[in-house]
Amino acid sequence: MSWFLPDDGASVRGAHHAKVAVKAVQGDKAVGAGVLLAPHLVLTCAHVVNDALERPQFEVSSPGHRSVRIGLLTGSWQMYEAHVAYWIPPRRTDDGGPVRPGVDPDWLGDLAVLRLDTDGRQLPKPPRRRAMEQGQAVRAWHGGAHGATFADGCVTSYDGRFGWVDGAPTGMAIGPAYSGGPLWAEGHSAWTGLVAAAFLHSDSRRSWAIPWQRIESELRAVGAIDTRPEAEPDPHDTAFILLTDALNSTFPSPETRLGAAVDLARTCGMVPRSTITAPTVAQFVGFLLTSPRALAAFSHTLRRRDPRAADEALDAGRMAPGPRLLSEREHTQLHRHLLTLGPQAARRLGEAVRGALPKAAGRLDGGTLDALVDQLEPLDGDSRSAEGEPRVPGLLRVVEYLAATYSPTEQVGLRLWTGAVATRLGIPRAALLERRADGEEWAVELRSRSDRARLLVEITQAGRERFRLRTWYDEGAGPRQLSTDSTASYTGAEAARELLHVLESLDLSGTDDRRPMVEALVDRAGLNLPVDEWEGSGPDDLVPGVLGAEFPLVVHCPELLRKHERFLPEWRRRWQRLDQGTTLRFSGDGLDKRKIYGRLMDETDAVRVCVDVSDTVRDEIVQVCLAVGVPVVVWDRGPGHGSHALEQIDCVETRDLPDGVRAYRAKTVSTPADHPGRPVLAWADADRTMPRLHLSEPGEGPG
């Protein structure tokens, strides 16, 4: 019998003490519901998140780092931003393919775990859950959580994968915006599954739900719930014996063991069976080996009392499958630090993995920040530690590389965290500082990537579908003019051939191994010119020459900055914070230039803006962003909003956007049906010299 018991007391207050709503990206409409899975995690259906973000209902791809608005009702509504921590998209029951709306009556998967962008300690504890059973009386709530919207029913059928719920003959019936919400088993003060869909026919009050049993299985498979060992630990196992010795040497009597056990239980969110009688040594060791984060928490106590015993305990933990590297407190602190650094931390963490662990990076496929941290946590340390010293774990090395990409004030939290974890693990400070120096050296090299060669081309209108070109080449020392004839005009295809000819003629032997960036210098009217789509191949050419598929191509509109000179200092300041600044996303309806202006004046750290709005207001919003000095703006010049391209490149690191957008444009050539977007990237580098242009202000002459 275990001495360490689950803490279910907080949920006895009532199953409905915290209702969760998933809100639409704009306005206050609830598109579905959810339930607290942990103090900082919300569980809902993936299709509810898709609805909230105005994506196709059964979209399979993860939303990336887009924010989801969550309402939590605990007496009054509190609103939070959240992002997807784990994504299990809907899939067909026959072959696992995408769900076909109107064809497939039920489906698997369809789960999303959202991490709230707030300190989880401020939130209520999650309610209890229990297995779904046939015959259970259940109750569901609309996402808006209005008191009158509850719908009562009974689980009339349960087959292990699905639970079918028949509604009461009177009262509300489960319908739209109930999806993702919990089915409360009223007699147990616990929830038993998530509402997934309803049969919306006039004579039907039937719906179906995802049972907790399947939810638990699917969440464990992606790491959203820690997996405990299926069998009790063997007392004759080496890890068990080593931990027993460490425990006996440090806490030799039941009296000393009792205090340590009570503290450990509370640290791990458990309840001690007794505050008078200590657990046996076997009970204590069994808990350390089966509760994933218990040993990490206990080693902190051991380190203070007996460093040698702490080393022995950690050695034992490495031999067993259950214990994790971090304690619950350390794990929560890491996510809190990453949250403080903003959305760019998620994009930058992947880059840090590639820099810190190049051999392991190819094996990691974390689609979200949480999944990536989970995959990094069990990785062994590197082999550079001195003989007999513990290795620096891969996760700590990655976090040091990540910290090196931030300013000194922003590094503090991450470096204090790695230092504290290293101390608990018994890692010499010199070893950690060596990895820190590696990270700083890598970060310097990373920042130098922006100094790539570039071909600047000024494009001016010369009649219907004809253009004049002036070109410069900049290898880092400043623009060197290449063309002097400003009278010749070209069609788009002719301009592409001319620019490809210029690029072929350049001596690139002295540059790095990256292709030059093509920077199209345009006026306001030219921001949506399809320069990236211009194809320069002739009838006798073997290889198509699509500019935007071969070269990273960006647009720059000096005219807007020149006409609003008061924002020039702001532009330079934002560019200097390119690696630390925030990203804004403008999407949906109801936006205009006044609202955008106000938001940008408030969000002075915004260095990157994604504009995904209707084409009727898009150009004006884009120009406001550029005029007030936002250095990086990306949009889709296609009609409407809900851009596939913007969603795909949302997770690309800001400095890598030119190459990321080029990669997407290449896919529009190879698989246009799957990549219908037409992304435009405006890129205003405040550190690079601009040539003198033919701007439209009076008195401005040619350079």
Q: Could you report the per-residue pLDDT of 493-525, keeping only the tens digit for each?
A: 999 999 999 998 886 554 456 789 999 999 999
- Whether the model clears a pTM of 0.85, i.e. scores above it, the answer is no
Please give the pLDDT value at position 343: 67
Please give the pLDDT value at position 8: 63
Q: Nearest-CA neighbor of 664 among 530, 502, 549?
A: 549
Place of tokens 């703006």: 633
**In the 8-state DSSP scheme, what is residue 631?**
S
Burial readout 103-121 (b: 16 or more C-beta within 10 A, e: otherwise): ebebbbbbbbbbbbbbebe
Higher pLDDT residue, 362 or 631?
631
What is the rounded CA–CA span in Å between residue 39 and residue 74? 14
Please give the pLDDT value at position 407: 84
Q: Nearest-CA neighbor of 327 among 421, 228, 232?
A: 421
**In the 8-state DSSP scheme, what is residue 546?**
B
% of residues, the chain, pLDDT over 70: 92
Please give the pLDDT value at position 508: 59
Average pLDDT over residues 627-634: 97
Please give the pLDDT value at position 202: 62
Please give the pLDDT value at position 703: 29
Predicted confidence (pLDDT) at residue 697 exceeds the cutoff of 50: no
Predicted confidence (pLDDT) at residue 358 exceeds the cutoff of 90: no
Predicted confidence (pLDDT) at residue 674 exceeds the cutoff of 80: yes
Predicted confidence (pLDDT) at residue 14 exceeds the cutoff of 60: no
Please give the pLDDT value at position 328: 92
Please give the pLDDT value at position 293: 94
Question: What confidence tier does 383 reach under pLDDT thresholds 50, 70, 90?
Answer: low
Q: Nearest-CA neighbor of 655 among 348, 228, 243?
A: 348
Q: What is the DSSP string of 59-125?
A: --S--TT--EEEEEESSSEEEEEEEEEEEE--B-TTTS----TTT-S--B--EEEEEESS-GGGSPP
Lowest mean pLDDT among 106-110, 207-211, 254-258, 365-369: 365-369
User: Hey, how many other C-beta atoms are within 10 angstroms of the C-beta on 631?
Assistant: 28
Please give the pLDDT value at position 510: 47
Please give the pLDDT value at position 679: 97
User: Hey, how many other C-beta atoms are within 10 angstroms of the C-beta on 410?
Assistant: 17
Predicted confidence (pLDDT) at residue 11 exceeds the cutoff of 50: no
Lowest mean pLDDT among 119-128, 400-409, 419-428: 119-128
Please give the pLDDT value at position 698: 35
Distances (CA, A) of 628 to 563, 607, 609, 681: 10, 11, 12, 17
Predicted confidence (pLDDT) at residue 418 exceeds the cutoff of 90: yes
Average pLDDT over residues 675-682: 96
Question: What confidence tier does 605 reach under pLDDT thresholds 50, 70, 90?
Answer: confident
Crossing angle between the packed helical segments 344-356 and 429-447, to the nearest 10 degrees:
110
Average pLDDT over residues 204-208: 87
Task: For residue 468, list its beta bridge partners.
Answer: 460
Higher pLDDT residue, 491 or 385?
491
Q: Nearest-CA neighbor of 351 among 341, 340, 339, 364?
A: 364
Predicted confidence (pLDDT) at residue 101 exceeds the cutoff of 60: yes
Predicted confidence (pLDDT) at residue 277 exceeds the cutoff of 50: yes
Q: Tokens for 240? A: 């068990």
Q: Nearest-CA neighbor of 21 among 73, 65, 64?
A: 73
**Which ranges of 426-476 would DSSP assign to H, the alpha helix?**
429-447
What is the rounded CA–CA span in Å between residue 223 and residue 375? 9
Average pLDDT over residues 280-300: 94
In this structure, are strands 163-167 and 151-158 parallel, antiparallel, or unpaired?
antiparallel
Question: Mean pLDDT, the chain, as a whole number?
Answer: 88
Q: Is 638 exposed, middle or buried (0-12, 13-18, 19+ CB in 10 A)?
A: middle
Q: Is 663 exposed, middle or buried (0-12, 13-18, 19+ CB in 10 A)?
A: middle
Distances (CA, A) of 161 to 17, 215, 339: 28, 9, 35
Q: In angstroms, how far apart are the furthest CA atoms of the chain?
A: 94
Higher pLDDT residue, 366 or 453?
453
| SS3 state at 679 | strand
Predicted confidence (pLDDT) at residue 612 exceeds the cutoff of 60: yes
Please give the pLDDT value at position 507: 65
